[in-house]
């Protein structure tokens, strides 16, 4: 009986793959629409602020993350971390004048922690790629 359950579960894995692709496609399309709306709002306001540029950069990173998934079938962990760093920078730029100094320090600390995490994850990816290369080369 346990073997049949495993067969059913393996047989249903295609639903996860397809739903993941569909949902990421929706995220990509929605991000393109949101970025166009945001750019239009900037055009109507006839003003581009630093916070606006950060927001557009976040849109670009999300689209890049979706594109990375479609080309490699995986989402690099560093991309969401970079998006979070950019979002925190945007918050600091937008609200730093009204915020308590400790809140700004807390957000800056969060950026530092995320930066260290992104660095560690990129080093992990680099090491695993080197291991794969060495295995292929027979070393």
DSSP 2-17: HHHHHHHHHHTHHHHH
Which pTM value belongs to this model?
Answer: 0.72
How many angstroms separate the CA atoms of 103 and 99, rounded?
A: 6
22 confidence band (pLDDT: 50, 70, 90): very high
Q: Residue 107 has which token pair?
A: 């957000």
Q: Residue 32 has which token pair?
A: 């393109």
Question: Nearest CA to 68 among 57, 53, 80, 85?
Answer: 80
Return the pLDDT at 106. Answer: 92
For 51-99, write each residue's pLDDT tens digit: 899 999 999 999 998 988 888 877 778 888 999 999 999 888 888 778 8
135 confidence band (pLDDT: 50, 70, 90): low
Residue ranges of domains in the chain: 2-137
> Using the 8-state DSSP alphabet, how is residue 46 labeled?
T
> Between vectors from CA 95 to CA 89 and to CA 96, what angle results, nearest 5°?
80
2 confidence band (pLDDT: 50, 70, 90): low
Return the pLDDT at 63. Answer: 93
């Amino acid at each position: 009986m346990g073997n049949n359950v495993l067969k059913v579960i393996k047989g249903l894995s295609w639903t996860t793959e397809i739903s993941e692709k569909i949902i990421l496609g929706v995220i990509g399309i929605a991000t393109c629409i949101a970025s166009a709306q945001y750019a239009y709002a900037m055009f109507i306001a006839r003003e581009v602020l630093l916070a606006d540029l950060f927001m557009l950069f976040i849109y670009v990173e999300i689209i890049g993350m979706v594109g990375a998934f479609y080309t490699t079938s995986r989402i690099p962990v560093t991309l969401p971390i970079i998006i979070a760093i950019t979002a925190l920078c945007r918050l600091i730029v937008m609200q730093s004048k009204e915020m308590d100094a400790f809140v700004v320090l807390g957000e800056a600390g969060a950026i530092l922690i995320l930066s260290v995490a992104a660095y560690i994850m990129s080093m992990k990816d680099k090491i695993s790629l080197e291991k794969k290369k060495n295995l292929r080369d027979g070393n």
